Amino acid sequence: MRQVAVSLLFLSLVGSAGVGQAQRRPSADSMAIIRKPTKLSRQERRELERRAADAEKQRAATPVLTAKDREVSEALFVDGVKYITLEDYPKALDRLLKAYALSPGNAAVNYKLAEANLLSGNLRDATNYAQAAVQLDPKNAYYYLLLAQTQANQKQFDAATNTYATLVREVPGTGNYLFQLADLYLAQNKLPEALATLEKAQQQFGDLDEISFKKQQIYLKQNNLPLALKEGESLIAANPTEPRYVLAQAEMYAANNRLPDAIRVAEQALRLDPGNAQAHLILAEVYRQQKQEPESQQQLRLAFENPSLDIDQAVRILVGYLKQLPDPKVNAVALDLAAATVRSHPKEAKAYSVAGDVQTLTGKKREARDTYLKALRYDNSKYQLWQQVVLLDAELNQTDSLLVHSDRALELFPNQAQLWFFNGIGHSLKHQPKQAVAALEHGRKLSSANLELQAQFDVQLGDVYHELKEYAKSDAAYDAALAIDPNNYGALNNYSYYLSLRNEKLDKAKEMSGRTVKKFPDNDTYLDTYAWVLYKLKDYAGARENLERALKTTKDAAVIEHYGDVLWQLGQHPQAVAEWQRARKAGPGASPLLDRKIKDQKLYE
């Protein structure tokens, strides 16, 4: 048999006592036991058990209660109740046990003993005294309720169910507890019993909305969709101006593949409440199932433009889109929904946060960075948002922003190593190597548990120490990075390039740079580094070959200048000068010697 699906909207309505002026269940007196139980010590418990046993012996030996004993018992009872109110349960039990020793047949004394034991965590004695109270006064509803609570707290649900059933059967005027009884049956998945109990409640109180909702829940669990829908139609008929019931019915149709009916009922809800966000979401889902994507996306847009759409629900839908991005088929609708979420919830940090995620994944990095900053205006406590901001600052080469934002983030999260990493990068890009070293060294200490991040710190430190001309520290940093990850190609490239500039360890530089080129044969930066190492080794033909490959994909001034230098070494002087001139036109990046080379038409190194 096909399983009947339970709609999300329907489940959100189950258990509600009604909406607006709709009928509600009759009120029921509830017990006053709402405080959290307090556990007694082992010593206190043993002493109270001894006192209870003594009281029981005394009860057996005291056949007749004198007037004086009755007066003392009543005073002890009042005193015990007072201490329960004060939450001093040892004193409460002391007084009540003394009262019990004098009046063991007093139902109220047994009831209060049960209450005090329940609140002190002694469930076994609480149950025994509650059972005694019920037996002594079987017409008092409060005694049954306390007994049911002690049983439920011990997960004795069958016993609790029987207690409620006995209550509504034996005590006049307690039909309102049929609802709790039905809930207990539902909790135990005793569906026929729950349904029968709700039928009794319906006979007693009439057609209440809560009864219909609970019956729907049962019918759905029984895979009886027709009866569940019938209950829904009854609710709609009884509440013709309430769109919530219509929406629940539409959800049920949609969840069970009754798509034409779902559309019909959802449109009925829109006639009652034009622009209703939930109705548009139902239609969007139905059209999606029918593979009518344009219609589905239009309904989503209408739903998201309505500020009544819960922000968390909007975020959940957008998260579903995030898993598909980037995708040309859904990029536009995801961006539209993200923008609508921000318009509908302009003061919600999570609206800007999820919109920033959508923009990031669709390649709109500058807009994403600005959107994340707006999220931080409303909630700057989210580290992940700061992390995204500084990452995008770095990718956008916004060095000033990178420093400002990383400094602000570090005021809030001074122990986050990644923030120190980006702060160090910012100082490095600003050619502030001393500040960069300070930030990177501090962050490296914080990243000791993350070897991959530590290697990234080491690569950056290698670059910065080279700028400071502290070459031993630079080499040590690169060696540390490669010890963690021998295939860290960024470290291999930079290390080999700086060695070539210093004319040191050229064989090692050639080996490291050769590995990067082998792995990335079309990367112009790596090809340029390898060519320059070969140049320093006087392998001009090899250098030329690699530079010509690099120049297929780059117009970088430094690469063009290097090519001119190689041509000069190969004796092709006019061609070399022409390449130097081309390098100057390419823009920044060439060496300070370039103008002199062109002016004198001579190689300077």
State pLDDT tens for residues 525-570.
Answer: 999 999 999 999 999 999 999 999 999 999 999 999 999 999 999 9
Given this model, what pLDDT does residue 5 score?
38
| Residue of 416, 465, 415 lying closest to 437 (CA atoms) | 465
Given this model, what pLDDT does residue 47 score?
64
Residue 171 has φ and ψ, to the nearest 5°, of: -105, 115
Question: Whats the size of the chain, residue-wise?
Answer: 605
Question: 597 CB contacts (<8 Å, ≥6 apart)?
Answer: 564, 577, 580, 603, 604
What pLDDT, in 10s, does the model give residues 330-388?
999 999 999 999 999 999 999 999 999 999 999 999 999 999 999 999 999 999 999 99
Q: Domain segments of the chain: what residues?
A: 380-477, 555-605
Given this model, what pLDDT does residue 194 score?
81
The pTM for the full model equals: 0.67
Given this model, what pLDDT does residue 60 score?
52
Query: Highest-confidence range of 119-128, 245-254, 408-417, by mean pLDDT?
Result: 408-417
Instruction: Give residue 279's identity as a one-letter amino acid code.
Output: A
**Burial (0-12, 13-18, 19+ Cβ within 10 Å), 555:** middle
Q: How far is CA 330 from the centre of its chain?
A: 24
- Token code pair at residue 211: 């009864």
Instruction: Please tell me which residue, 358 or 9, carries the higher pLDDT value.
Output: 358
| Residue of 435, 431, 494 lying closest to 467 (CA atoms) | 431
Give just the sign of the alpha carbon dihedral 341, 347, 348, 352: positive
Half-sphere exposure at residue 331, Cβ-oriented, CA atoms within 13 angstroms: 9
| Least confident residue range of 22-36, 335-349, 432-446, 504-518 | 22-36
Cα–Cα distance measured from residue 228 to residue 216, given in angstroms and rounded to the nearest whole number: 5
Given this model, what pLDDT does residue 31 score?
37
User: Do the Cβ atoms of 249 and 232 come closer than 8 Å?
Assistant: yes
Q: Return the H-helix or E-strand segment holding 155.
A: none
Question: Strand locations in 168-262, DSSP E?
Answer: none
Q: Residue 58 — pLDDT band, cuts 50, 70, 90? A: low
Q: How far is CA 391 from the centre of its chain?
A: 22
Percent of the chain scored above 70 by pLDDT? 89
- Token code pair at residue 342: 């921000």
Cα–Cα distance measured from residue 314 to residue 379, given in angstroms and rounded to the nearest whole number: 19
What pLDDT, in 10s, does the model give residues 92-101?
999 999 999 9
Q: Residue 200 — pLDDT band, cuts 50, 70, 90? A: confident
Q: Mean pLDDT for the chain? A: 87
Given this model, what pLDDT does residue 64 score?
61
Show the DSSP H helices in 413-447 as ranges. Answer: 417-429, 433-446
Given this model, what pLDDT does residue 213 score?
75
* Topology (CATH level 3) of domain 380-477: 1.25.40
Cα–Cα distance measured from residue 486 to residue 492, given in angstroms and rounded to the nearest whole number: 8
Q: Is 87 helix (H, G, I), strand (E, B) or coil?
A: coil
The answer on pLDDT for 10 being more than 50 is no
Three-class DSSP labels, 531-564: HHHHHHCCCHHHHHHHHHHHCCCCCCHHHHHHHH
- Token code pair at residue 20: 């607006």
Instruction: Give residue 555's identity as a one-letter amino acid code.
Output: K
The answer on pLDDT for 210 being more than 90 is no
Q: Residue 201 — pLDDT band, cuts 50, 70, 90? A: confident
Give just the sign of the alpha carbon dihedral 139, 142, 146, 151: positive
Given this model, what pLDDT does residue 203 score?
78
Q: How far is CA 50 from the centre of its chain?
A: 52
The answer on pLDDT for 21 being more than 50 is no
Cα–Cα distance measured from residue 544 to residue 566, given in angstroms and rounded to the nearest whole number: 6
Cα–Cα distance measured from residue 522 to residue 533, given in angstroms and rounded to the nearest whole number: 17
| Residue of 500, 482, 501, 502 lying closest to 490 (CA atoms) | 482
Given this model, what pLDDT does residue 568 score?
96
